[in-house]
């Protein structure tokens, strides 16, 4: 075992240890779509591990085994200032971790969100006349990890603090109050976290011109934890779900978004060099913060583990390239194409255990492709489609650059699924042995 991973593993052990205390966390969410193209400041929410949602508008203490709630300020959703969504629906648009799909595309994402809305949010986001899905920003309530990577910065709370928080937010007015500059999502996070730990989250005059931003909210809580070592603090990454949905972009503060964007910085350098220098100085002075530094990887089962190192990623990538290189053994390109083609026209439905499957058109028949680790090998879809989905997932997890995407433990599970899907009649033993189903570092099982 490499010594550099020991602190991260110790944090993971602390996470699983029985605790009498719970946590409040800043959820820092990477930007995508128009936000990613222009501002890049992303979104912020509050995650509470011992507070749950009796409804989207009312909080309560969690029952044993419940993973908590995500609360955030939204714009144009039912006329409310904030809404509370259980953790797994907020992140993955499903009720249970066993239902989280291995791969996603825009059609699947929309189907999962609408299925949850119809089941639990009909009073806040009702159907249109005729029963069709309504437009609007309600989709931001569900399945955030399909669109972007999330970072959690979590610090402990007490039972009395949780009870006081519940009483305060249940009794206070909850009507639309969003304002981009003075009452945005980061302002809500700042007020909620400071309810537990006063002055833990602050605005930055230098880096953000005094405007609350998601990135500085996370940074200030991380800094606060260094001055309060008696409070347990954990940072972890919730990777964006692999698939054909466009990848999110790094989250930035206000000054940073100008300093790092050529479309803004280059014109300033040419016409207003002094102003450009000011943006650069502000970013260097207070804007730098890497949210992935020393962060663990969140698995869909709730486990935390160290992310893959660069060396481990290269080793796995080389092994995957060797397995998929030979068209006569593993037709990787045709498998990927088959997965993308069929999944784009498939319909989402539950299997007998309630887990999601895709119903695929194949001539005059309907085939089912399981979407989770529990059912992907049990459907009636052709083997090359199953293999294509698993290969596509592994390719996505092993891409370089950007946020951490997986851990050694999670990737090993995917390797084993691919190894099982190949079957003894599909590839030779020599090719199968290229699959790193053993520990690449030690060579042992």
For 76-118, write each residue's pLDDT tens digit.
899 999 999 999 999 999 999 999 999 998 989 999 999 999 9
Distances (CA, A) of 52 to 26, 56, 155, 162, 366: 16, 10, 17, 10, 39
For 14-27, write each residue's pLDDT tens digit.
444 434 458 999 99
The pLDDT, as a whole number, for residue 361 is 75
Coil, strand or helix at 44: strand
- The region, left, alpha or beta by phi > 0 then psi within -120 to 50, assigned to residue 365 is beta
Task: Please answer whether residues 22 and 48 qualify as being in contact, where contact means their C-beta atoms are separated by less than 8 angstroms.
Answer: yes
| Residues near 388 by beta carbon (within 8 Å), at least 6 away in sequence | 332, 334, 335, 336, 337, 338, 339, 340
Packed helices 408-422 and 383-397: angle between N→C axes, nearest 10 degrees: 160
- 273 against 170, higher pLDDT: 170
Task: Please answer whether residues 371 and 328 qualify as being in contact, where contact means their C-beta atoms are separated by less than 8 angstroms.
Answer: no
Size of the chain in residues: 445
Cα separation, 55 vs 175, in Å, equals: 16
Packed helices 332-345 and 106-120: angle between N→C axes, nearest 10 degrees: 40
For 144-153, write each residue's pLDDT tens digit.
999 999 999 9
Cα separation, 268 vs 279, in Å, equals: 10
- 91 φ/ψ angles, rounded to the nearest 5 degrees: -85, -40
Across 10-19, 199-208, 264-273, 388-397, least confident range: 10-19
Question: If pLDDT is split at 50, 70 and 90, which confidence band does 347 have?
Answer: confident
Question: If pLDDT is split at 50, 70 and 90, which confidence band does 437 have?
Answer: low
The pLDDT, as a whole number, for residue 377 is 93
Query: How is residue 27 written in tokens?
Result: 């959820």
CA 149 to chain centroid, in Å, comes to 4
For 135-178, write each residue's pLDDT tens digit.
999 999 999 999 999 999 999 999 999 999 999 999 999 998 88
Cα separation, 336 vs 157, in Å, equals: 46
Cα separation, 237 vs 29, in Å, equals: 10
- Over residues 268-289, the mean pLDDT reads 54
Distances (CA, A) of 7 to 197, 309, 311, 380, 404: 25, 14, 19, 44, 17
Q: Tokens 């893959």 sit at which residue?
A: 308
Distances (CA, A) of 248 to 137, 144, 363, 379: 18, 11, 36, 31
- 418 φ/ψ angles, rounded to the nearest 5 degrees: -65, -40
On the question of pLDDT at 131 being above 50, the answer is: yes
On the question of pLDDT at 408 being above 70, the answer is: yes
Burial class (CB in 10 A: 0-12, 13-18, 19+), 330: buried
The pTM for the full model equals 0.86
The pLDDT, as a whole number, for residue 297 is 97
User: With pLDDT > 90 as the criterion, what percentage of the chain qualifies?
Assistant: 51
| Pairing relationship of beta strands 233-238 and 296-298 according to DSSP bridges | parallel
Cα separation, 319 vs 432, in Å, equals: 10
The pLDDT, as a whole number, for residue 328 is 42
Rg (CA), the chain: 23
Q: Residues 144, 52, 72, CA angle at the centre, nearest 5°?
A: 45
* Closest listed residue to residue 142, CA positions, set 91, 82, 70: 91
Across 62-71, 309-318, 411-420, 429-438, least confident range: 429-438
- 260 against 119, higher pLDDT: 119
Q: Residues 183, 223, 187, CA angle at the centre, nearest 5°?
A: 5
Task: Please answer whether residues 269 and 52 qualify as being in contact, where contact means their C-beta atoms are separated by less than 8 angstroms.
Answer: no
* Closest listed residue to residue 216, CA positions, set 200, 229, 237, 233: 200
């Amino acid at each position: 075992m490499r010594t550099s991973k020991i602190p991260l593993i110790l944090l993971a052990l602390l996470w699983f240890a029985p605790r009498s205390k719970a946590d409040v966390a800043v959820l820092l969410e990477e930007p995508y779509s128009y936000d990613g193209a222009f501002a890049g400041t992303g979104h912020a929410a509050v995650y509470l591990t011992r507070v749950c949602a009796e409804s989207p508008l009312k909080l309560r203490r969690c029952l044993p085994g419940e993973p908590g709630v995500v609360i955030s300020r939204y714009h144009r959703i039912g006329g409310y200032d904030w809404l509370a969504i259980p953790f797994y629906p907020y992140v993955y648009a499903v009720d249970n971790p066993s239902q989280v799909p291995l791969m996603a595309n825009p059609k699947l994402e929309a189907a999962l969100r609408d299925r949850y809305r119809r089941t639990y949010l009909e009073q806040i986001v009702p159907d249109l006349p005729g029963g069709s899905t309504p437009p609007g920003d309600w989709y931001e309530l569900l399945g955030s990890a399909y669109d972007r990577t999330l970072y959690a910065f979590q610090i402990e709370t007490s039972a009395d603090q949780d009870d006081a928080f519940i009483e305060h937010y249940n009794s206070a007015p909850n009507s639309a109050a969003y304002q981009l500059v003075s009452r945005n999502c980061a302002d809500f996070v700042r007020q909620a976290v400071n309810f537990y730990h006063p002055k833990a989250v602050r605005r930055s005059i230098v880096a953000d011109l005094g405007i609350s931003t998601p990135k500085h909210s996370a940074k200030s809580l991380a800094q606060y934890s260094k001055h309060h070592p008696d409070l347990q603090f954990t940072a972890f990454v919730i990777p964006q779900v692999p698939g054909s949905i466009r990848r999110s972009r790094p989250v930035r503060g206000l000054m940073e978004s100008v300093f790092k964007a050529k479309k803004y910085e280059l014109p300033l350098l040419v016409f207003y060099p002094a102003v450009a220098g000011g943006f650069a100085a502000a970013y260097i002075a207070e804007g730098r913060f890497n949210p992935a530094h020393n962060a663990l990887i969140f698995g869909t089962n709730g486990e935390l583990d160290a992310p893959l190192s660069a060396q481990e990623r290269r080793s796995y990538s080389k092994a995957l390239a060797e397995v998929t290189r030979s068209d006569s053994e593993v037709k990787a390109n045709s498998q990927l194409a088959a997965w993308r083609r069929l999944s784009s026209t498939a319909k989402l439905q539950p299997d007998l255990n309630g887990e999601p499957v895709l119903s695929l058109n194949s001539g005059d028949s309907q085939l089912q492709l399981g979407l989770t680790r529990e059912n992907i090998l049990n459907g009636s879809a052709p083997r090359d489609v199953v293999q294509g989905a698993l290969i596509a997932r592994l390719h996505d997890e092993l891409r370089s650059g950007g946020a951490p995407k997986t851990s050694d433990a999670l990737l090993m599970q995917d390797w084993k699924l691919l190894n099982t899907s190949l079957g003894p009649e599909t590839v030779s033993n020599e090719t199968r042995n290229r699959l790193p189903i053993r520990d690449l570092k030690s060579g042992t099982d």
